[in-house]
Structure 1
Amino acid sequence: MKSGIMEEKMSFEKWKQMKQALMTVFCFLMVFACSGKPHPEKIVAASNPDLKEHSKEFRQEVIRVAEGVHVAVGFGLANSILLEGDDGVVIVDTMESEEAAKPVKEAFSKISSKPVKAIIYTHYHPDHAFGTTVMAGADHPEIISHETTLGHLDRIVSVTRETTYTRATRQFGTLLPEGGVVNCGIGPHLDFREHNTIGLIRPTRTFSGDRLDLTIAGIKLELVHAPGETSDQIFIWLPDKKVLLPADNFYRSFPNLYAIRGTAYRDVILWVKSLDRMRQLKPEVLVPCHTRPIYGKQEIYETLTDYRDAIQFVHDQTIRWINKGMTPDQIVERVKLPNHLVGRPYLHEYYGTVEWSVRAIFDGYLGWFSGNATDLFPLPPRERAEKIAQLAGGKDRLLENAKLAFEQKEYQWALEVCDHVLRLEPDNRQAKDMKAAALATLGEKQIASTARNYYLTQALEVKGDITITQRKNKEMEMVHSIPLAAIFNALSVKLDPVKSVDTDQVVGFRFPDTGEAWSVHVRRGVAELQPRFPENPDITVTVDAAAWKEIVAKMRNPAMALLKGDIQIEGGTFDLIGFLRLFET
Structure 2
Amino acid sequence: MTTRRQFIGAIPVTGAAFALSGALFNEGPALAQEAPPPLAGHFHPKGKAPSVHTIRALEASVANLPLSDTRDFEEQARGFLAPLPDLKIMADAGNVAWDHERFLFNETQESFDSIHPSLLRIARLNNNYGLYEVIPGIYQVRGPDLANITFVRGKTGWIIFDIMTAAETARASWELFQREVGEGLPLKAVIYSHTHGDHFGGVRGIVSDEDVTSGRVEIIAPGGFMDFTISENVYAGNAMNRRLFYQYGLLLPVAPHGFVTQGLGHVVPAGASGLIAPTRSITEPIEEVEIDGLRMIFQNTPNTEAPREMNTYIPEMKALWMAENVTATLHNIYTLRGAPVRDPLNWSKYIADALFRFGQEAEVMFASHHWPRWGNARIQEVLRDQRDLYANANNQVLHYANQGVTINQIHNVYEVPKGLQAKWHCRGYHGSPEHNARGVAQRFLGFWDCNPATLIPLSPADSAPLYVDMMGGSAQIIARSRALFDAGDYLLASEIMNKLVQAEPGNVEAKDLLADVFEQLGYQQENPGLRNSFLAAAYELRTGIPQGATASSTGPDIIRAMSTELFLNFLGIRMDSQRAEGLEFSINLVTPDNGEQFIVELRNATLTNIQGFQDPAADLTLTINRADLEVTMAGIKPLDEQLADGTATAEGDLAILGQLAALMVDFDPRFEIMPGTKAKSDAADTDPYAATVGAVISE
TM-score normalised by the shorter chain: which range applies? 0.7 to 0.9
1:245-290 alpha-carbon deviations (Å, 9 max, x no partner): 1011111112222211112121111111111122222221110211
> Cα distance, 1:475 vs. partner?
4.1
Structure 2 counterparts to residues 158-307 of structure 1, below 5 A? 158-179=234-255, 180-192=258-270, 196-227=271-302, 228-280=304-356, 281=358, 282=360, 283-307=362-386
Name 1:466's counterpart in structure 2: 546
* Cα distance change of structure 1 residues 128 and 468 upon mapping to structure 2, 3 Å threshold: farther
Q: Look up the match of 2:119.
A: 51
Please state whether the residue corresponding to 2:290 is helix, strand or coil: strand
Q: Does 1:123 pair with 2:123?
A: no
Matches for 1:496-515 after TM superposition, within 5 Å: 496-515=576-595
- Secondary structure of 1:533's partner? coil
Unpaired runs of 5+ in structure 1?
A: 1-40
CA distance in 1, matches of 2:369, 2:496: 38
Amino acid at match of 2:333: L
Larger RCO of the pair (alpha carbons < 8 Å, separation 6+): 1
Q: Evaluate the alpha carbon distance shift between residue 270 and residue 401 of structure 1 in structure 2; reply closer, same or farther with a 3 A threshold.
A: same
Q: Distance in 2 between matches of 1:488 and 1:384?
A: 37
Counterpart in 2 of 1:322?
401
Which residue number corresponds to residue 617 of structure 2? 536
Secondary structure (helix, strand or coil) at the match of 2:141 reads: strand
Distance apart, 1:303 and its partner CA: 1.8
Greater Cα offset, 451-460 or 397-406: 397-406
Secondary structure of 1:490's aligned partner: helix
Task: Please tell me the residue identity of whatever aligns with 2:622.
Answer: V
Rate the CA distance shift 1:460–1:214 in 2: closer, same or farther, 3 A.
same
What is aligned with 2:681? none
Alpha-carbon displacement from aligned partner over 1:487-533 (angstroms, at most 9, x marks no partner): 11112122222211111112232223333232221112211211233
Residues 1:576 and 2:651 are matched in the alignment:
no
**2:514 equivalent to 1:439:** no
C-alpha change, 1:397 and 1:247, in structure 2 (3 Å) is same
- In the alignment, the residues of structure 1 paired with residue 418 and residue 288 of structure 2 have an alpha-carbon distance, to the nearest angstrom, of 40
Distance 2:196 2:419 in 1: 32
Residues 465 and 522 of structure 1, relative CA distance in 2, 3 Å threshold? closer
Distance in 2 (CA, whole Å) between partners of 1:273 and 1:529 is 38
Contact 1:157 1:490 in 2 (8 A): no
Answer 1 or 2: which has greater helix percent.
1
User: In 1, are the aligned partners of 2:248 and 2:532 still within 8 Å (CA)?
Assistant: yes
Does structure 2 retain, via aligned residues, the 8 Å contact 1:198–1:478?
Answer: no
In structure 2, the CA distance between the partners of 1:454 and 1:546, relative to structure 1 (3 Å rule), is farther
User: How far, CA to CA, are the matches of 1:338 and 1:476 in structure 2?
Assistant: 46
Segments of 5+ residues of structure 2 without an aligned counterpart are: 1-101, 106-111, 667-699
Distance 1:485 1:79, change over 3 A: same
Change (3 A) 1:480 1:333: closer
- Whole-angstrom CA distance in 1 between matches of 2:296 and 2:164: 21
Using the TM superposition, give the Cα deviation of residue 559 of structure 1 relative to its aligned residue in structure 2, in angstroms. Answer: 5.2
For 1:215 and 1:544, locate their aligned partners in 2 and report how far apart those are by CA, in whole Å.
Answer: 38
Q: Secondary structure at the match of 1:414?
A: helix
Identity rate of aligned residues, in percent? 25
Does 2:501 align with 1:422? yes
Deviation larger for 282-291 or 453-462 = 453-462
Judged with a 3 Å threshold, the aligned counterparts in structure 2 of structure 1 residues 566 and 459 are, in CA distance, closer, same or farther, namely farther
TM superposition score normalised by structure 2: 0.73
Deviation of 1:236 after TM superposition, in Å, equals 0.7
CA distance in 2, matches of 1:217, 1:206: 16
Aligned to 1:521: 601
1:148 counterpart residue number: 224
Amino acid at match of 1:537: A
> Cα gap change, 1:375/1:469 in structure 2, threshold over 3 Å: closer, same or farther?
farther
Deviation at 1:94, TM superposition (A): 0.6
Deviates more, 1:46-55 or 1:261-270: 46-55
Instruction: Give the superposition deviation at 1:572.
Output: 4.2
Q: CA deviation at 1:558?
A: 4.7
Q: Is the 8 A contact 1:157 1:486 kept in 2?
A: no
Q: Report deviation, 1:220.
A: 1.3
CA spacing shift, 1:537–1:134, aligned 2, 3 Å:
same
1:415–1:94 CA distance, 2 compared to 1 (3 A): same
2:49 match: none
Q: Name 1:12's counterpart in structure 2.
A: none
Q: For residues 216 and 150 of structure 1, what CA distance do their matches in structure 2 show?
A: 21
Task: Give the residue type in structure 1 aligned to 2:659.
Answer: G
Structure 1 residue 78 corresponds to structure 2 residue 159: no
CA distance in 2, matches of 1:164, 1:368: 19
Task: Classify 1:392/1:83 alpha carbon distance in 2 versus 1 (closer, same or farther; 3 Å).
Answer: same
TM-score when normalising by structure 1: 0.87
Give the aligned partner of residue 136 of structure 1. 207
Superposition pairs for residues 295-374 of structure 1, below 5 Å?
295-374=374-453
Contact 1:331–1:358, Cα closer than 8 Å, also in 2: yes
Over aligned residue pairs, what C-alpha RMSD do you find?
A: 2.4
Contact 1:174 1:190 survives alignment (8 Å) = no
